[in-house]
Amino acid sequence: MFELLSRDGDARRGRLQLAHGVVETPCFMPVGTAATVKGLTPAELVEAQSQIVLANTYHLWLRPGLETIERAGGLHAFMAWERPILTDSGGFQVFSLESRREVDDDGVTFRSHLDGSVHRFTPESVVAFQEAIGSDVAMVLDVCVKLPATREAIEESVRLTTLWARRSVAARKAPATALFGIVQGGLDAALRVRSARDLMALDFPGYAIGGLSVGETREEMYAIASLTASMLPQEKPRYLMGVGTVRDLLESIDAGLDLFDCVYPTRCGRNGRAMTHDGELNLFNAAFTRDFGPVDPRCDCNTCTTFTRAYLSHLFRSKEMLGPRLLSHHNVYLVNALMREARAAIEAREWNNFRKRRRAWLSHPSTLRQAQGGLSSG
Q: Which residues of 332-344 are buried (b: 16+ CB within 10 A; e: fewer)?
A: bbbbbbbbeebbe
CA gap 137, 351 in Å, rounded = 28
The pTM of the full predicted model, rounded to 2 decimals, is 0.94
**Amino acid 371: pLDDT:** 33
> Which position among 8, 88, 278, 291 bears the catalytic label?
88
DSSP state of 8: E
Q: Dihedrals φ, ψ of 14, to 5°? A: -140, -175
The low-confidence residues of the chain, meaning pLDDT below 50, are: 365-378
Confidence at residue 378, expressed as pLDDT on a 0 to 100 scale: 31
Radius of gyration of the chain, Cα coordinates, nearest whole angstrom: 20
d(CA 319, CA 306) in angstroms, rounded, equals 20
Q: What is the model's pLDDT at position 273?
A: 98
The active-site residue out of 142, 248, 254, 261 is 261
Domains and CATH numbers, the chain: 2-262 (3.20.20.105), 269-371 (no CATH)
Decide if 10 is catalytic.
Answer: no
Query: H/E/C letters for each residue in 303-352?
Result: HHHHCCHHHHHHHHHCCCCHHHHHHHHHHHHHHHHHHHHHHHHHHCCCHH
* DSSP notation for 74-139: SHHHHHT--S-EEEE-SHHHHHT-GGGEEEETTEEEEE-TTT--EEEE-HHHHHHHHHHTT-SEEE
Identify the pLDDT of residue 39.
97
Cα distance between residue 191 and residue 209, in whole Å: 13
Q: Tell me what pLDDT residue 365 has.
A: 39
Q: What is the pLDDT of residue 362?
A: 73
261 has catalytic annotation:
yes
Please count the residues of the chain. Answer: 378
